[in-house]
Amino acid sequence: MSVDPARFVLTLSCGDRRGIVAAVANCIASQGCNIVESAQYGDPDSGRFFMRVSFSGLPDTSVESFSRGFEPVATAYDLNWKLHDLRVKPRVMILVSKMGHCLNDLLYRNSIGQIPMDLVSVVSNHETMRRRVEGEGLPYHYIPMDGRTKAEQEGEILALIDEQKIDLVVLARYMQVLSDDMSARLAGRVINIHHSFLPSFKGAKPYHRAHERGVKLIGATAHYVTAELDEGPIIEQDVGRVDHSMSAEAMVAIGRDIENTVLARAVKFHIEHRVLLNDTRTVVFR
């Protein structure tokens, strides 16, 4: 019986200089591995070099054994690097409030295996989506404010994240602003989605306000959460055209569809280790 080869993704960044690609490729080959996919980018503004390499190895290749062989290259080029074993799926938690369109979309994509993740649980500050989530056989944790302080409510969520060994938290229209402390503790591990009207139309009913102003483009942005509200490094965006004949409700429907696809892409890019942080920006190897 044939045994499937081990599959890994190596991501790295460093100061740009000659020989990095050759050194990485030679090290991979010297350990009996075969490159399946490779992408790299040198940023002329920051002088940083970014690379993502997907490769297969022998069945007994492990993160530990490959890392030992790669360490001399990492030291020589002062690499900031990570090695990911694709046999281990990232553990994901979704946070949601009352609006379920992004949650529904992620639940469906998860059910057909479109995103290689282990969806562990859903947390909400409302009971609205319980039946939908439990219908998928997933745990649903209701953690409302209910007179508790924000720190207490977030403390319960953080305890669940630790207990369930969560790698990624997805805010699928979770209508609570994360505190600076929670944002810092989960840096690089939380993805949020919001409509594209920010900062022009903040607050309630942004699509209705955009309709009143005759907006012609609507869309969505998925980004990593930071202490700066809705200003974290952007992972993915998309837009759709609208015109004078469309009602505010029609614009809302279009916006929700875009939010679904943008969030799903962002989560997939992250799960597949295609996103590298470049200061306040991202490098996304599609």
User: Which of the residues are catalytic?
Assistant: 230
- Give the DSSP letter string of 65-121: HHHHHHHHHHHHTT-EEEEEETTSPPEEEEEE-S--HHHHHHHHHHHTT-S--EEEE
Among positive and negative, which fits the CA dihedral 211, 264, 230, 276?
Answer: negative
Full strand arrangement of the beta sheet holding 48-57: 34-42, 48-57, 6-15, 80-85
Closest to 129 in 3D by CA, of 140, 118, 120: 140
Q: Distance (Å, rounded) from C-alpha 124 to C-alpha 198?
A: 24
